[in-house]
Chain A
């Protein structure tokens, strides 16, 4: 099949159904990738600090006392599922499905994002109750520098979703709004990638080497 010229950008895109918005979105999307990658470097620094701090527990509570793998497992499944639903929202947008469908998938994503945050905050509170507070040791400082940073990103993603919902109600599905939705989807998928790094390095790495 011959590919139409408007499909030049194969990543997450709006497609030929929204030709004018599609073209404008391409450049901005690449710019957003640059932002995401610089954010990735920031996360990378926090990962590096965590790796060097794993043993610096100063006699305080360590990974084996503090990490609750069941809760981490639930958070992982929730975030992964939300990555799927944000993708489905993108497809609903791209293929001109009824607006209710777009709102539905973004809504499910928001609910999943918020439940992820509730579980994560509950974990932090449990850790604090066992004496696992940031100022206790270098290990805990590094942990609280990294994992809540990801949580903060998820929280801003949730806020972003709410703002988009309000804008959709006020202005309808404009080109600008569609372009913002594409960037939100990229951001959200990116957060799931970081989370894979967090479970592998922070949680399992901490349990292995801590």
Chain B
């Protein structure tokens, strides 16, 4: 029973760490936006990177996805879906952006 109590504590700490990390990243994003304005691309790049970091933190600490052997199947599935997503989003933005330039709409 003691071992289970120990495990419970450890798992709870994982969630709290994930929550704290996500909270810090969220605060950082809004603070950056508040202080520096959201007009420049450099600021947006840092916001984007912090967003990506938060996705990773939540996947690891909330959804328990890591590189341990037994969660590989989930990880494979997520990585494959991410690949599909990147092709879909990247392709759409590329094609429509290119079309806009050719039609002088100055969109992208």
Binding site for B on A (CB under 8 A): 8-12, 17, 30, 33-34, 37-38, 40-41, 44-45, 47-49, 51-52, 55-56, 69, 73, 76-77, 80-81, 83-84, 87-88, 91, 94-95, 186, 189-190, 192-193, 196-197, 199-200, 204-205, 207-209
Given contacts A40-B81, A44-B85, contact A52 B47 (CB under 8 A): no
**Of A34, A91, A199, which contacts B29 at CB under 8 A?**
A199
Secondary structure dominating the interface of A: helix
| Cross-chain contact A189 with B58 (CB below 8 angstroms) | yes
The answer to whether A56 touches B58 (Cβ under 8 A) is: no
Q: Is the CB of A52 within 8 A of B93?
A: yes
Contacting pair A11 B47 (CB below 8 A): no
The answer to whether A208 touches B81, judged by C-beta atoms less than 8 angstroms apart, is no
> B105 to chain A: which residues have CB within 8 Å?
55
Q: Give B17-52 as 1s and 0s: 1 = Cβ < 8 Å from A's Cβ atoms.
A: 011001100100110011000111101100110010
Asked whether A83 lies within 8 Å of B74 as measured between CB atoms, the reply is no
In the complex formed, the residue of B with least CB distance to A73 is: B30
- Taking the closest CB of chain A, its distance from the CB of B1, in whole angstroms, is 10
A52 touches B96 (CB 8 A): yes
Residue numbers in A under 8 Å from B78 (CB-CB): 33, 37
Q: Which residues of A contact B51 (CB under 8 A)?
A: 196-197, 199-200
Contact yes or no, A204 B88, CB < 8 A? no
Among A45, A77, A193, A200, residue most surrounded by chain B Cβ atoms (within 10 Å): A200
- Find chain A residues with CB under 8 A from B29 CB: 199-200, 204
Find chain B residues with CB under 8 A from A10 CB: 64, 66, 68, 70-71
